Each structure stands twice: as C-alpha cells, then as structure tokens.
A and B are shown apart, each in its own frame.
Chain A
Amino acid sequence: MKALVVGGNGFVGMNVLRALVQAGHDVVGTRKPIANTIFARKLGAPLVKADLEDEASLVEAMRGREVVFHCAAHYPRFSLDRDGEIATGVTRVRRVLSAAKRAGVSRVVLTGTVATVGPPGDGRTLSDERDPAEPRSLRCVYHAVKAAIEAEALAANGRDLEVVVLNPTGIFGELDVKAGTGFLLVAIGNGLLPFFVEGKTNVIDADDLARAHIAAAQRGRPGERYVVGGHDLLTSELLERVAEILGVPFTSKPVPCWLAGAAATFAEMRQHALRDGGRPFLARELVDVVRFGRWVDTSKSVRELGLAPPTPLQTTLTKACAWYVRHRYIKDVKDVRSAASAATSARDGAETTRVP
C-alpha cells in the first residue's frame, strides 16, 4: 500500500513506519517543522514536513497516498484547560480528515486509546468495543479530549473516506522518545517513583500495535473501533516486573487515587506557571488512566483483523527497558540484558515448576 504516517517521528508513528517498511510497503512519514528526527531518519522511510496547524501542508503530504495512519492525535500535556484542549484535539483531527478527503486518500486509521472504552456491560468481566466511555471519566481532560477526537473521526466515516479507529492499551516498546507511558519504567529505573496508584492496566507491545495498524488498514471495517491489547495485570505487578528486569529494588508505595490526583494537579499548575516548556513531575493524565484502567477483551480485533497472539510480557518489558538504558533515559543501570536474562531465567524456572 501507499501509506503516510502522520506523526512519523513520534513513538507509535515510528513503530508503524518501521513495520510498514519491513513489510515492503511504500511509506512516507510526516514530521513537525522542528522535531527530533534522529531516530526516525534511520527507519528507511522518507520524512516530509507537515504541520497539524497547516491543512495545506497535510494535503501536500497526503497526495498519492491510499492510506493515512494518524498517529499524532492531540495528547494534552496539561489537564488545566478542558475546553481548550478538546477544541485543539477536535480542530486538528478535523484538519487531518479534511486534508485526507482533499488529497483523495481512501482510508484513515486513527490511533486512539482504550481510555475511550468504559467498564464492561451485560455482566461481562472484560471491556470491549461495545462499552462507551464512563461519563465520570469524561470529566478528566485526557479522557474527554480522546473521546472527542474519536467521535469526530468516526463521524467522518462515509462514502468518500473510510475511517477505522484503534484503541490500544498501555504501549511499551522501543523508540519511545518522549517516554510517555514508558515514564513509569524510566522512573522505576532511576529510583524516582516514590508512590503509585494501584489499578487495572493492560500492556501491549509497540511492535504488535504497529502490526495492528497495518491489519486495520487492510482488514478493518470502516466506521468500527478495535480494542488492541496484550496482557491484563495490576499496576503493582507491572512495576515489580520492571524493577526485576532492571535489577533495581521496588520500593514504591501505593497511595490513594485522590492523593495522587491532587499531587498531579499541583505539579501541573506549578509547571504551567513556570512557562519553561518542561513537563510536570507527575502528569494528571497518568493518574486518570490508572483510575479508569480497564482489562480488555480483544477478540474482535483477533477475529476481524487477524492479529497474532501478543508478544510475551517479559519480552516487551525487557525490550523497552533495554531501549531506555541504551539511550540513557535510565542512568544507573548499565546492562539490562544480564539483569533481564537472570530475571527471565528465574521466572521461566518458577513457571516451569507449576506445570504438572
């Protein structure tokens, strides 16, 4: 396919770009006019400048492309201006969809989030695509922005443009240049996570998600959304496993959600007041994502998109940790491979003993 990855120098975008190149597709990525492209330049696909604030630049980048992967939907950095962030998110996705129509693109695959999937209904234990976002969660800025973007995208599905939405869970893997969800791994590795909020989470490997994007372009039903995930677990289990892989002690303590939320709001207000472009020491969005965390049923994606079983959790986390260590996001761990291999051997041994 002839594809364009919008956000080709971001975490998901680079993984999608790399998967498309490896699968032999004709792909181009977009990058912002000022951006870190040191990693993206090595993926084997050309990068063109395009700006989500400039529809003409998007149309230009999309000309001659059949499929657009929109991996750059607005991610609110602060949770202080709900209406403003929603307006930014909706305006930008509208621009991408309008540009796609003008450029003659036939399909857009939007990278959404599981945050727009609500608690399981009908007596089910796992959430899936049928479950609408919980109204309470939409009071959170991140959830509200993502729900508005998804609704806008699905509403644009029609005769002249097909839209498919993916709802990935917590994404871990290589090329996470801004350490989004991976912030947790980096914080554990650097001993900078004094507390955490216990809750449900699900981990998907960035490579699996990239392959799901390609499958959504090829087999996804227009106007549908697909939950893509890997492994259900609790936050504490995830953090313990990461500490084990990195060979660092796990000393973080659980705190109530309301306390973490208040600390995050304070951190954001302080950072916002500084106006230095830095990030808060704790993002409200991270707390809200755990507060409304979901364990998911991905059977629709497996059935309709033909997804393979997920990459083993240990492999995903080891790969992500190794990338952060190699690029010195995690400073005090020198060799994740030996630590990881010891952890894997111990775990495999323990798991083997449980097999009758």
Chain B
Amino acid sequence: MARVSAEQIQKDLETIIRRLRPDLKGDIKATDRLRDDLGLDSLHSMELLSEVTEKYEIDVDAEQVQDVRTVGEVVTFLAGVIG
C-alpha cells in the first residue's frame, strides 16, 4: 500500500461516515467524537474502521481499534499503520 497523507485519510473517512450517517449535517472535524458528536454507535464505528481498513488493504485486530474515540484518533491510528 502506497503512503497516504493524513489529509487523504480524513477525506476518505468523511466519505464513509456520510455513507453510514446520510443525515449528518455540517463539517466533520478531527476532534469530533464518533459516538457523541457523529452518532456512530459501536457497531457503526466498527463498520467505519472495517471499511477504511479494506480500502487501504490493511489488516487490523479488533482489539487495536477499540480505543479510538475521535476522527483524529482514527486518522492517527491509520497513518501509523499505513505509514
């Protein structure tokens, strides 16, 4: 997998989040919490991480991603794995 910038990861995340929550209005910020701000329950959050790891063709363990709480933390985690 080629190196992907943090900006690109955030953009891709936004696309997937809007697919999961088509009713979501306004910008999605790095500080947004997946559950409290974006309304993604734990199953949605797993779908988000699943989608994005498939897109970048990386394999993660569920345990690795269960502590991420915000969009920024997802970006940091993925950048760390890909980069």
User: Interface on A for B, CB 8 Å cutoff?
Assistant: 34-39, 41-42, 177-178, 275-279, 326-328
Contacts and interface: CB of A to CB of B under 8 A. Distances in A.
Interface string B24-49: 00000000000000010101101101
Contact of A38 (B19, B21, B39, B46): B46
A35 B49 CA distance: 10
Contact of A277 (B41, B50, B53): B41
B66 A35 contact: no
A41 B63 CA distance: 15
Contacts of B60: 38
Interface residues of B, number: 22
Dominant SS at the A interface? Answer: loop
B59 A327 contact: no
Interface in B51-83: 51, 53-54, 59-63, 65-66
Contacts of B47: 34-36
Contact of B53 (A35, A38, A178, A276): A38
Contacts of B4: none
Contacts of B21: 277
The 6 closest A-B pairs by CB, nearest first: A36-B46, A36-B50, A36-B47, A38-B50, A37-B50, A328-B66
Nearest to A178: B43
Contacts of A39: 62
B14 to A, nearest CB: 15
A34 B41 contact: no
A39 B53 CA distance: 12
Contact of B19 (A34, A41, A275): A34
Interface of B: 19-21, 23, 39, 41, 43-44, 46-47, 49-51, 53-54, 59-63, 65-66
A178 B41 CA distance: 11
B29 to A, nearest CB: 20
A277 B39 contact: yes
Contact of B46 (A42, A177, A279): A177
Contacts of A41: 54, 59
B12 to A, nearest CB: 14
B37 to A, nearest CB: 13
Contacts of A276: 39
Nearest to A275: B23
B20 A327 contact: no
A41 B50 CA distance: 10
A38 B41 contact: no
Contacts of A42: 59
A34 B51 contact: yes
B54 A277 contact: no
B39 A327 contact: no
Nearest to A47: B54
A178 to B, nearest CB: 6
Given A34-B51, A38-B50, A277 B44 contact: yes
